[in-house]
Amino acid sequence: MVFAAPGEALTRAEELLGADPSPLHASIAHQVIGIWQRDFGDTRRALAHLRRARDLAARADSAEREADVLATLGVALVHSGRTREGLAAFERGVARGTGHTRARVLFRRAYVWWVLGRHGEALEDVRRAIPVLRQAEDVIWTARALTLRATVHLALGSVERADADFTAAEALWDTTGQEHDKADAVESRGLAAFRSGDVPAALRLLDEAEERYAKLGTPTFMLTIRRCEVLMAAGLATEALTEADGAIAALDGIGGQSTRKAELLLVAARAARLADDPRTALARAALAVRLFAAQRRTWYETHARLVLIEARVATGRGSGRLVADAAAVAERLAAFGAPAAPEASLLAGRIALGLGWTADAERHLAVAARSRHNGPPLARMTGWAAQALRARAAGSARGVLEACRRGLDVLDDHRMTLGASELRARATAQGAELAALAQRASLVSGGPRRLLVWSERWRATVLSAPPTRPPADPVLLSAMTAFRELAARAEEARTDGGRPVPALEREQRRLEREIRSRTLHMRGEAPGDGDRFDVGRLLRRLGDDVRLVELAVLDGRVHVLLCGQGRVRRFEAGLLAEAEVEAEHVQAGLRRLAHPGAEARLPLVEAAGARLQRLLLGPAAAHLGTGPVVVVPPGRLHRVPWALLPALRERVLSVSPSASSWLRAKDTAPPPGGRQVLVRGPGLASEGAEVPELSDRYAGQWSAGGDEAWMPSSGGPTGARGALARDGREREAHGVSAGPGDGTTPGGPLVLEGDEARVPRVLRELDGAALAHIAAHGTFRADSPLFSSLRMADGPLIVHDFERLDRSPYRIILPCCDTARFASVGADELLGLVTALLPLGTAGVVACTAPVNDAAVVPLMLALHKGLDAGLSLAEALRDARAALPSDAVHQATGWAFSAFGAA
């Protein structure tokens, strides 16, 4: 019962002890309390109860009872770090028990061998236990033994054997009421899914196991360790570190198992290393090594030493001693049959290469490269990385490029099994080294065209295929509706009282976690992208007039690849780090210029724009020609206001995440019908003043007042409403209703405002529209970019909502602040509102990278739509709209803050 219903078992054991039981029954009660404390509470109390249970079993003169307690005590001693005492208890238990009891003791000793990383001994003991347990028709312990054997097989990389044992164990669990063990079986299936490379299934099963454990009220430290491993494989290392550190604190708080603490420290160290936090990795790994050594857990200690060496290398401590240490770790891991052995050999080879020890490097890299043809995707990636480094050391650029191509193909296939766009984006980090190696090899031997191909090979790959549509999951839909309602209530409370409401915000965060969790469970449906980038096709589409400027970053320096007139040329520009600093200065200047009275800063911002041009374009700025320009920046430069650069200021200018995505946008046909949707959300300082004027102009009155009809009556909300009222009277004179709630006119756009601007209705109308103008307060979430939102009448419209569209609008205009902000993740990926729209059918977006003056946006938007009505593209219309603005600092800064993305 202690595993089927732990709380009830604890209560009944305590009640039994209060009833003056016999030594035999008291021994059982103390053993139950000891198990509960060992697994869910304080190990010191567990040891006290288990020693008492052992002594009472001896008094009862029951050798079988004593053997059973000794096995439980042995597990507790090992978990508390007293390995020698624990193994001695097992020796006595095996000697005292017979038949069925001895089989149970052997099973628990096999478990301890697994904890200690001694997998051969674990398999031997469980091999001896299973036939006896089966013969005794002991379903529960047979299922436990099969689950343990499967887990050992997984540790040794034998996924098929593990799957067979898990399947057999699950069939047995279905015949029992052991709810804790059933949850453990689901957790184990999650681990098996992860080892076979199915990350979404692993996350789904581990979340299901967590729900089952929560109903039982049991802690989940082992589950946390496994979940952190999956999160790291999915590119979510920062989250894994947070979870691991939280579990360590919780374990310390209850005086929990020393063995679990060591394992959590190892996971935290690995997560910190992957999250580019080598100092934290050093601290966690060093403590894990000490604990594992004291616990005599050589398997785990060796894994911790691998992370420790990786962290030392990451802090710049490459040395001959570290080569020897990494090689020794690789040998020990290989002797254990550990899947991590190639990683250690790759590390030794990398360090040796850095020291110029080519012979040593070749030896270690050759060992690591053997893993490139089999095993899970990330193990094969390790092998191809080793092969690429071998080729580079041998001076074979062709060999480098072939290894990088093969390795990135493996990662491509892996990424496309992931349904969530966030996981696809973050997974690219695992290919960053291969992409960089290929770019360097291309720079040396292949010329600008080859460098362009490899720059495109691993840039904005998340946009290469639409994300998997979220399933018609009622739980997910319900959570999204509840999240929206709660966020609206929290926003209302902040607006009314000026203070947040902690209870609402806590529940909002819980719902965010649930939505994100269920979204990450989605499995990818699209095959790998077989449409490889073709330089010739790009040059043909550019023609003689258009220039595409792709910025590649190699070893911290910006290289400009200028495409057009049938050729690709390369220019060297400045350092990326300096450009990032300058871009932040420009952003700060634009924020100041959004408010009247900061005119004196305008020359400073313009000067910063000139410095940015030197750093980002260098000599290429003089070779841009006179036609339109498409800029393809790396992800880390997504906040640059490109229209501020002097060479681009008066250009038809568009921005694209990659040349490939620009080509796709160029080839995207507008939907039939030309349907237009204008949305006005609440809470805008300008009250979305351009929307009513645009409604009337698009309704067929563009020519009534000539060019003047395109400007607001007084440049602000009141003037716009006045124009709306005046035009409404004119419409009534023509027999067209303009009464309250009438959002459109025959042949005109659909207007959603007030209570009609609710998320379900807005999404329904946006799906497949030709043009959408959404005037709504925008919020960018750097901590969770797919919860970036536009505020509607019933709450936030988030990126996850847009991903439910069958086809997002062909053109979208987002006139409010921060709608073009992104989070840079993975190798060179961006997560945000604009990048979510591009794979869904949107060919062009106008959005803003900085806070802007709401009143100054109105004339810019009206002038922009005037150009669209004249048949211009978004980039052409935006260029003309900037030129039509007043020359004061506020309006100039507003124009620079907006960019046209895509090719529509």
DSSP state of 787: G
Q: Is the pLDDT of residue 530 over 60?
A: no
- What's the whole-number mean pLDDT along residues 148-168? 88
Taking the CA atoms of the chain, what radius of gyration do you get in angstroms? 32
| Closest-CA residue to 799 (of 813, 787, 791) | 787
Q: Which residue has the higher pLDDT, 740 or 365?
A: 365
CB 890 within 8 A of CB 854: no
pLDDT of residue 728: 37
Q: Pick the more confident residue, 702 or 685.
A: 685
Collapsing DSSP to helix, strand or coil, 565 comes out as coil
Q: For residue 750, list its beta bridge partners.
A: 677
Closest CA to 809 of 834, 778, 777: 834
Q: What is the mean pLDDT of residues 828-847?
A: 83
CA 854 distance to own-chain centroid: 33
**Is it the case that residue 737 has pLDDT exceeding 60?**
no
Amino acid 496: pLDDT = 65
CB 827 within 8 A of CB 426: no
For the whole prediction, is pTM greater than 0.85?
A: no
Beta carbons of 425 and 463 less than 8 angstroms apart: no
Helix and strand element counts for the chain (H, E): 38, 16
pLDDT over 90 percentage in the chain: 52
Report the range out of 171-185, 258-272, 583-597 with the highest average pLDDT: 258-272
Q: pLDDT at residue 127 above 70?
A: yes
pLDDT tier at 744 (50, 70, 90 boundaries)? Answer: very low
Between 84 and 428, the more confident residue is 84
Question: How high is the pLDDT of residue 730?
Answer: 35
What's the mean pLDDT in 404-409? 90
pLDDT at 740 > cutoff 50: no
Query: How confident is residue 234, by pLDDT bands cut at 50, 70 and 90?
Result: confident
At residue 27, the pLDDT reads 96
Coil, strand or helix at 826: coil
Q: Is the pLDDT of residue 643 over 80?
A: yes
Say what the pLDDT of residue 481 is.
83
Compute φ and ψ for 36, nearest 5 degrees: -60, -45
**Above 60 in pLDDT, residue 726?**
no
Q: Could you give the count of Cα atoms lying within 13 Å of 712 in the half-sphere of its Cβ? A: 28
Report the pLDDT averaged over residues 66-89.
92
DSSP strand pairing (823-825 vs 829-831): antiparallel
pLDDT, greater one: 412 or 401:
401
Q: For position 91, what pLDDT does the model report?
A: 95
Is the predicted pLDDT of residue 470 greater than 70, yes or no?
no
pLDDT per residue as tens digits for the range 360-395: 999 999 999 999 988 778 788 899 999 999 999 999
Calculate what percentage of the chain has a pLDDT beyond 70: 90
Q: The tokens of 245 are what?
A: 């550190």
Q: Is 494 exposed, middle or buried (0-12, 13-18, 19+ CB in 10 A)?
A: middle
- The residue with tokens 């190892």 is 266
Q: Are 800 and 519 in contact (CB under 8 A)?
A: yes
Mean pLDDT, residues 582-607 taken together: 89
pLDDT digits (tens, 9 = 90+) for 1-17: 887 777 889 999 999 99
Answer yes or no: is pLDDT of 125 > 50.
yes
User: Helix or strand or coil: residue 196?
Assistant: coil
